[in-house]
Chains A and B, each alone.
Chain A
Amino acid sequence: MIDIALANEAWEGVEAGTEALVEAWLVREGERVSAGQPVVKVVLVKTSYEIAAPANGIVDRILVPAEQTFARGRSLGTLREE
């Protein structure tokens, strides 16, 4: 299983305690995705950011639904690699 997450590098320079927001999921649980395909949009520091699928696979679980916030390092969902 692979985590879908906002890369640590994106958080560099962000003040401690700041959270990001899941703007929208672009896929559903069980959906097959290709590596590089945008799967979720998040917002951090006035920036909307598309997170791409890290591999070919099937979205297993969405852990942080749309309109909820999340902290650095949190997995937003999991991908079952194919």
Chain B
Amino acid sequence: MGLPGGVAGAAVCHGTAVDEQAWIAEVLREPILQPCVRVWIYRRPALVLGCSARPDADLAERAAAAGMDVCVRPSGGGAVLAGPWLLGASVVLPAHDARVAASIPASFRWLGVAHAAWLQGLGIAAGAVPAPVAFPGSALRWSCFGSLSHWEVQSHGRKIAGLAQARRRNGVLFSSGILIQPSPWGSLCDALGQPREDAAALAGRTVSCAERLVAPAQAAALSQSLLERLSLLVGCANSGTPG
């Protein structure tokens, strides 16, 4: 298959979460010699499940009825509803890169701090949390945005960016998802068969760039600035916007 932007360098990709997972699988097929970065603008909704999820036929049926793709990512954590309201980033590093700390929690630090700095540069008060933060109410562990884990990013106590990681013999994938618009939390709950009350709880625990910015949160501009920050940080050439 033709992969958006090939497998090297840095690029913004317009595609689906299914395309993103295909790209990751292809990239990690061979040993990673140089860092590579993709920022994803999602064209259509997709339910992206953590690696330990086992989607059944009911879930697939509900998602299909709602017009969503379903995919399982190689990294851990709860489910995410990808779509035009979310930016995704994939940073793939060589297995022995200095940023891949032995401690799993510590290895998220550089990425969380980079996302917080990027958001601050946009004018959003944001910070990466060094330790998990418990929200009042039920844990909502089934959803990535239901909790704040090590070095994930918040703005005034509400989660704005989630992180995850997959360590493989050939390299290490760091992933992030940033809310640029409010997510349709009800659709996520419905697709996963979770109670509708959880949608209100998720809305209360999260915030998007659009809600924090005065100017409109344009995916194209945000994706380009995030790509520039991440690619500069990991030392990776920008190979353009393949579309």
Contact = CB atoms under 8 A, between A and B. Distances in A.
A52 B169 contact: yes
A23 B73 CA distance: 13
Contacts of A54: none
A47 B103 contact: no
A49 B74 CA distance: 10
Contact of A47 (B102, B131, B166): B166
A45 B102 CA distance: 13
Contact of B76 (A15, A47, A67): A47
Contacts of A45: 76, 104-105, 108, 149-150
A46 B75 contact: yes
A50 interface: yes
Interface string B62-75: 00000000000011
Given A15-B131, A48-B75, A52-B169, A43 B51 contact: yes
Interface string A9-48: 1111111000001010000000000001010010111111
Contact of A46 (B76, B102, B168): B76
A47 B164 contact: yes
B150 A50 contact: no
B165 interface: yes
B148 to A, nearest CB: 11
B51 A23 contact: yes
Contacts of B165: 46-48
Contacts of A7: 102
B88 interface: no
Interface residues of A, number: 23
B106 interface: yes
A77 B87 CA distance: 39
Nearest to A13: B105
Contacts of A14: 104-105
Contacts of B166: 47-48
Interface string A37-76: 0100101111111101000000000000001000000000
B127 interface: no
Contacts of B107: 47
A46 B103 contact: no
Contacts of B106: 12-13
A46 B167 contact: no
Q: Which of A12, A36, A47 has the most CB of B within 10 A?
A: A47
Pairs A-B, 5 closest by C-beta atoms: A9-B102, A13-B105, A12-B103, A46-B77, A47-B165
Interface of B: 50-52, 74-77, 102-108, 131-132, 149-150, 163-169
30 contacts: A7-B102, A10-B102, A10-B103, A11-B104, A12-B105, A13-B103, A13-B105, A13-B150, A15-B131, A23-B52, A36-B169, A41-B51, A43-B51, A44-B104, A45-B105, A45-B150, A46-B77, A46-B150, A46-B163, A47-B76, A47-B107, A47-B164, A47-B165, A48-B51, A48-B74, A48-B75, A48-B76, A48-B167, A49-B167, A67-B52
